[in-house]
Structures are given as C-alpha cells and as structure tokens.
Amino acid sequence: MLKALTSIFQAYQEMTSKDEIVFGEIIRWMIEQGWPMIGFTAQEGYQRARFLMKDEVLHSLEIILDKKVAAISTLTLRGQCRNQLADPDDMISMFKTDFQNILKLPIFGQMKINHEYNSIYATTAGVRKLGDYMSGRGQVNRPVLEQDLHAKINDVREALRKFKR
C-alpha cells in the first residue's frame, strides 16, 4: 500500500515538475555550448536565465520558460546585440523598426525587434507542451530540445545580424 502511494506521489511530483526538469536541461546544454549563465530567476511555474553569448552578433541571450496551464508553456528567447555608439542615422532607423513592430506578437512565433540606444533586442516565443520535450518518466528528450533551442537561437541571431555595427 505504501509503495503504491509513494509511486502515485512521485508520478504527481514529476508531472508538476516538468518545467523545472526541462529548464535544467536547457541550462546544461547552454553551458555545454560554452555560454556561461550570468543571471537566474525562478518562481513557481516560471524560470528565466540569461547567458553570455559573446559571438559576432549576440552579446547575451535570455531564455524564459513560463508554465501556463497543465503542461502547456511558453518558451521565450530574447537576444541582445550591442553596438558601441549610436549613430544619428541609427536612431532614425530605430524609430522606423519600432513603429513596424507595434503589432507584432512574439508569442505567435514572430520576431519582435526593440531598440534601446546601444542595444538591440530580438524576442521570439512559442507555445509548447512540455511533454514534447520528455521521452519518458522524468527523462528529457535531449535531441528534440537541443534542436529546438539551436533553431530559435539562430533565428534570433539572424534577426539581429542586420543591426550589428
């Protein structure tokens, strides 16, 4: 009887902890890629980490996993590109880009660009079932998660490439 109750309780804990398990794998993969974590915030159903990218375009990348209802969550990536000095022509271009982005919603997979003087941010998000990233009880399907992250990071990088000076 005790074994059955323990098994049920453990299954419940694993079901409610999928977001933490998946986010732990995201952190592991990012660090394995050589991108150190420079910030972390966690609350119930919400995890956010910031990584130092230091490549030719991306300065940093923020990943947010926000559990909504049951196992449905949003995975948001926000990349930052830094330029050393804001040129007056760049300021005009910023206003044009910001105006074009007013109606864009990153939650639907669209890329939203935001300028803040010497930094340009690209944000994209998607709604996923956390079960899509799981391969078994408490096990993350690493290839699926890594492929999804790699594709999203490349999308963010390419969106910012034209703004890098």
Question: Tell me: the pLDDT tens digits for 43-65?
Answer: 888 999 999 998 899 999 999 99
34 SS3 class: coil
Q: What is the pTM of this model?
A: 0.80
pLDDT in tens, 77-93: 999 998 876 666 666 66
CA 136, 138, 143, 146 dihedral sign is positive
8 Å CB contact between 79 and 58: yes
Which domains are seen in the chain, by residue range?
A: 18-161 (3.30.1460)
100 SS3 class: helix
